[in-house]
Amino acid sequence: LMFSRLIFGIEGVMANSDHLVGAMIITIAVCAMAEIARPLRFLNLPFGLWLLVAPWLLGSASLGVTLNDIVAGLVVI
């Protein structure tokens, strides 16, 4: 997600969304690796759902970007 701007050449709101959500997913996943913070992994659920609907709400111009977000969202969920 964080490299979708470089790989797909996207710009604008969709690129910013992918970059921000990708960073948040990684941050939460790393924090949830600790045994005491294990419940934090459920905070990634809204980010996964956002990735599923973002291409339609933000207007993705490319099929590749849309598929990238859908697959990433399903993996996160």
Query: What is the pTM assigned to this prediction?
Result: 0.86
Per-residue model confidence (pLDDT) at position 4? 84
Domain range list for the chain: 4-76
pLDDT number for residue 64: 87
Give the up-direction half-sphere exposure of residue 59: CA atoms within 13 A in the CB hemisphere.
3
Report DSSP letters for 8-38, one per residue: H---SHHHHHHHHHHHHHHHHHHHTTSGGGG
Check if the beta carbon of residue 37 is closer than 8 Å to that of residue 15: no
For residue 61, which of 3, 11, 7 has the smallest C-alpha distance?
11
Residues of the chain with pLDDT under 50: none
CA distance 28 to 30: 5
Task: Please tell me the predicted confidence (pLDDT) of residue 52.
Answer: 94
Q: Which amino acid is at 22?
A: G
